[in-house]
Structure 1
Amino acid sequence: MGLTIGIDVGGTKIAAGVVSRDGTIGARAHRDTPAGSVDETAKAICDAAAELIADHDVEAVGIGAAGFVSSDRSTVLFAPNLAWRDEPLGQRVADVLKVPVVVENDANAAAWGEFACGAAKDVEHMVCVTVGTGIGGGVVIGGELLRGAHGVAAELGHMRVVPGGHRCGCGARGCLEQYASGRALVREGRAQAESGSLAAAQMMSVCGITDPAELDGPMITKAAAAGDPCAVELLDDLGRWLGEGLASFATLFDPSTIVIGGGVSAAKELLLKSAQVAFDKNLPARANRPHPTIVMAELGNDAGIIGAADLARRPVAADPEPHAAAAPAATTPSALPGVDEEKAR
């Protein structure tokens, strides 16, 4: 398959691009996201894609959407920041554009972009963690995107790390997202500033602000890059939480590479150094197992577009047949009741 379109649907902006097989983005189109209206959001997606299709021979469209996406990669079951509830987005867009359409979770799409064309393009087993306002991610095992039985696997930011901890937007308490995300970084920075900490006051002076409510993640990152001690400590704490989470991901999935992306990754070594230390400290049986390589993402904000476009080239796997009932026990003395003889070999 030649050219495909990748569309990254965010809470405020829809970004689309025509993508070649090697991951190169040609023409682009953008629309605002009318987040409160299902119909208007679908129309904006179609308008952006139609603008590109008008000038390019496009064979399929891939859409990366925040939320739970069904196993057939067509229906958005739930979206936290958009009005989608059991929304047949793929079919709606396909009916308008008259080309095949695949829908995927946006973090999965970004992870696949890094796997297919970015920092993990030479490996078969990888975990991608996007550290932005929240934490997203995706997992590729043996060259296949891990989606789970219902299409909602790899919600990495919602692994619980502190029982009874901070309330998360998902409704649970103590999710990793509440300790290792941009939101957590800002919360802790503002808390220090509001406490009257002299170190935090110095950090705010470096940021050029006086009101703690004005403090944001990029300001803290910039101050840390300038060597401000309070900002450096905040990023160090964030990296420690992230490294502990990465150790758990490595234990669960045994990847050869862990890719860190998202807006907070702009801190680079300020974040990666402490994350690596915490990872090494918390990895179970660390002296007796191979360690994955931890690297920074390469594709930036284009990862979702590239990943969605590449996934559109790949056929949707048919749902597996339900497990057959166990065959009757064989009459030979060695047979075990209820166990299929071929599987037992």
Structure 2
Amino acid sequence: MTGRLQGGAPLTVGIDVGGTNIRASVVDADGEVLDTVTAPTPHSAKALDAALARTVRELRQRHDIAAVGLAVAGFVDADRARVRFAPHLPWQDAPVARTLTAELDLPVVLEHDANAAAWAEYRFGAAAGGHNAVLIAIGTGIGAALLVDGELYRGTHGIAPELGHLQVVPDGRHCPCGKRGCWERYCSGTALADTAIEMLATDPVTSTVLARDVIRDPGSLTGRRVADAAQDGDPLAVRVLADFARWLGLGLAFVSDIFDPDLVVIAGGVSTSAPLFLDEAREHYARSVTGAGHRPLARIRTTQLGEAAGMIGAAELARAALVTARG
């Protein structure tokens, strides 16, 4: 079993609790991942609690663990102890931190997954040195986090900021949140596929590989497929990515008008395709922000920590809570 780091800094576990898989990592005080285990995500709250406890116990057999942090895609209360609601997880108003603390006899803290990723990027990655920073995690939808003066801003009830659900198109595309026209419905992996289908409906070009694929089986289309086709120069896919870049730039202009950050980090699965859209998005942002040409612009970077950011951030936040509790 490995113990504490030099100087006594404790090892902690960060867990990314996803709708499909649980990924748990032992992380040291420098943000380095030392060990990782994965498991399928169960479909009941009791089974999920048990699976999380098992992953931590497995890691404890090899490491001296002092605390646990969970990165959750859902609403976490202001005390970071209870999951109010998570659309892809079975918890509803669940005292997850208390349950796991009792089961493991370890301190457990919760955090929204975008907040955890933002904290990791701030401490060890692309947001290092940022004063007021925003993280935009673009995947199936949009997750977001805000750092103000180097501290996570969670809002009064622990829910802020839900930037993906800013309404950018009145009466636009339906969103699973219940509204219409949310930003994430035009700027996400899901949106890439929807935009391709809409473009073909209004301009039924059939001469591209992607167009023929969509016509043959619209349900098989994914954002990854669109991005790969754009990388290959497919004309329809290139148009879709240009539309995506426009919406990203416009959305970042809204975010800058509200928060005036000095740094924006683009994360999430779609960020791996950033060379296809980011420069164009920067141009739309620079033209669309209020006071364009007369104000400094935020630096826009892509994630350095990738899919490990949520685990690293959750582990680091658990370490910080442990230090605070010990005085």
Does residue 84 of the first structure (1) align with residue 91 of the second (2)?
Answer: yes
Does residue 291 of the first structure (1) align with residue 283 of the second (2)?
Answer: no
Does residue 18 of the first structure (1) align with residue 63 of the second (2)?
Answer: no
How many pairs are equivalent?
316
CA offsets 1:75-109 (integer angstroms, 9 cap, x no match) = 00111111211100011111111111110111111
Confirm or deny: 8 A CA contact 1:131 1:262 kept in the other structure: yes
Does residue 214 of the first structure (1) align with residue 216 of the second (2)?
Answer: no
* Alignment counterpart, residue 111 of structure 1, candidates 87, 93, 118: 118
Return the letter of the residue paired with 1:256: D
Q: Secondary structure at the match of 1:115?
A: helix
* TM-superposed deviation, 1:196: 7.3
**Larger CA deviation: 78-87 vs 10-19:** 78-87
Q: How does 1:145-184 map to 2 (within 5 A)?
A: 145-184=152-191
- Within 2, Cα distance between the matches of 1:149 and 1:195? 44
Confirm or deny: 8 A CA contact 1:146 1:153 kept in the other structure: yes
- Within 2, Cα distance between the matches of 1:265 and 1:197? 29
* TM-superposed deviation, 1:192: 3.8
Q: How does 1:122-201 map to 2 (within 5 A)?
A: 122-193=129-200, 197-198=204-205, 201=208
Q: In structure 2, what is the equivalent of residue 57 of structure 1?
A: 64
CA offsets 1:135-188 (integer angstroms, 9 cap, x no match) = 101111111001011100111101111122112111111110111111111112
The TM-score normalised by the length of structure 1 is 0.87
Q: Secondary structure at the match of 1:236?
A: helix
- Within 1, Cα distance between the matches of 2:117 and 2:84? 19
Does residue 97 of the first structure (1) align with residue 108 of the second (2)?
Answer: no
Return the letter of the residue paired with 1:4: T
- Within 1, Cα distance between the matches of 2:237 and 2:171? 27
TM superposition outliers: structure 1 runs of 4+ over 6 Å: none
Does residue 277 of the first structure (1) align with residue 275 of the second (2)?
Answer: no
Q: In structure 2, what is the equivalent of residue 341 of structure 1?
A: none
Return the letter of the residue paired with 1:118: G
The TM-score normalised by the length of structure 2 is 0.92
- Within 2, Cα distance between the matches of 1:96 and 1:209? 52
Q: 1:102 to 1:48 in 2, by over 3 A?
A: same
Structure number with larger C-alpha Rg:
1
- Within 2, Cα distance between the matches of 1:154 and 1:315? 22
Q: In structure 2, what is the equivalent of residue 314 of structure 1?
A: 320
Which segments of 5 or more consecutive residues in structure 1 lack a partner in the other structure? 319-345
* TM-superposed deviation, 1:317: 12
- Within 2, Cα distance between the matches of 1:291 and 1:196? 36
Q: Secondary structure at the match of 2:136?
A: strand
- Within 2, Cα distance between the matches of 1:209 and 1:287? 43
- Within 1, Cα distance between the matches of 2:30 and 2:204? 50
Return the letter of the residue paired with 1:10: G
Confirm or deny: 8 A CA contact 1:200 1:230 kept in the other structure: no
* TM-superposed deviation, 1:251: 1.6
